[in-house]
């Protein structure tokens, strides 16, 4: 369990991020076309998992836009934005913001992702949503970088995540 903060107040996650060197846990999440996706759908690609509470917040929206720009410059890399947002909302966000290089996935049908990745918020006003975190994995789903952002109202370390991808 990680202790992070929301505007300075402590909140807790359901566990810890996958360890560097470990294999990503598989997931089943829902895309904007209401189709279920798993890790197998991104086989052979480097992966940036941009995990956010909700794209309806300024910081989450900023991180999706930032990764959208950065991933467009990377070879063989996919950025997957994962939240508890409804697929309709994430699709509307991407269209209105011109986000074209980020794949949005939702915990619409199951909450397993949050627990398996240790990012489900278990208390505080955002309980049930996901914490802000970044996980980078290579083409074989081996974790090469993680960041549990210590303050939910803070942006992730984009340069650290991108450096991890480019060093693979």
Mean pLDDT of 73-82: 94
- Could you tell me if 28 and 106 are in contact, meaning their C-beta atoms sit under 8 angstroms apart? no
94 is annotated as an active-site residue: no
User: CATH for 23-108+129-166, among 3.40.30.10, 3.40.50.1220, 3.40.50.300, 3.40.50.1100?
Assistant: 3.40.30.10
| Residue 160 C-alpha from the chain's centroid | 15
Residue among 60, 80, 84, 149 flagged as catalytic: 60
Q: How many CB atoms lie within 10 A of CB 166?
A: 12
Instruction: Tell me the pairing of strands 77-83 and 102-106.
Output: parallel
Q: How confident is the model at residue 11 (pLDDT cuts 50, 70, 90)?
A: very high
Residues 27-63: tens digit of each pLDDT: 999 999 999 999 999 999 999 999 999 988 777 778 8
Residues 130-168: tens digit of each pLDDT: 999 999 999 999 999 999 999 999 999 999 999 999 998
Q: Which two tokens stand for residue 12?
A: 């807790």
Q: Where are the domains of the chain?
A: 23-108+129-166
User: Which residue do the tokens 């290089």 mark?
Assistant: 101
Cα–Cα separations (whole angstroms), residue 156 to 54, 61, 121, 146: 14, 12, 17, 10
- Could you tell me if 145 and 1 are in contact, meaning their C-beta atoms sit under 8 angstroms apart? no
């Amino acid at each position: 369990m990680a202790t992070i903060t929301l505007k300075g107040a402590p909140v807790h996650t359901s566990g810890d991020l996958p360890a560097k060197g470990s294999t990503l846990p598989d997931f089943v999440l829902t895309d904007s076309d209401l189709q279920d996706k798993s890790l197998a759908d991104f086989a052979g690609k480097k992966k940036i998992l941009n995990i956010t509470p909700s794209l309806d917040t300024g910081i989450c929206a900023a991180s999706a836009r930032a990764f959208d720009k950065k991933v467009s410059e990377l070879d063989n890399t996919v950025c997957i934005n994962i939240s508890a947002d409804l697929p309709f909302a994430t699709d509307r966000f991407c269209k209105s913001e011109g986000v074209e290089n980020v794949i949005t996935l939702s915990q619409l049908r199951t909450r397993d992702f949050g627990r398996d990745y240790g990012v489900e918020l278990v208390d505080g006003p955002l309980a049930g949503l996901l914490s802000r975190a970044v996980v980078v994995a290579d083409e074989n789903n081996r974790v090469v970088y993680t960041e549990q952002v210590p303050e939910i109202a803070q942006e992730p370390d984009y340069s650290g995540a991108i450096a991890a991808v480019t060093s693979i």
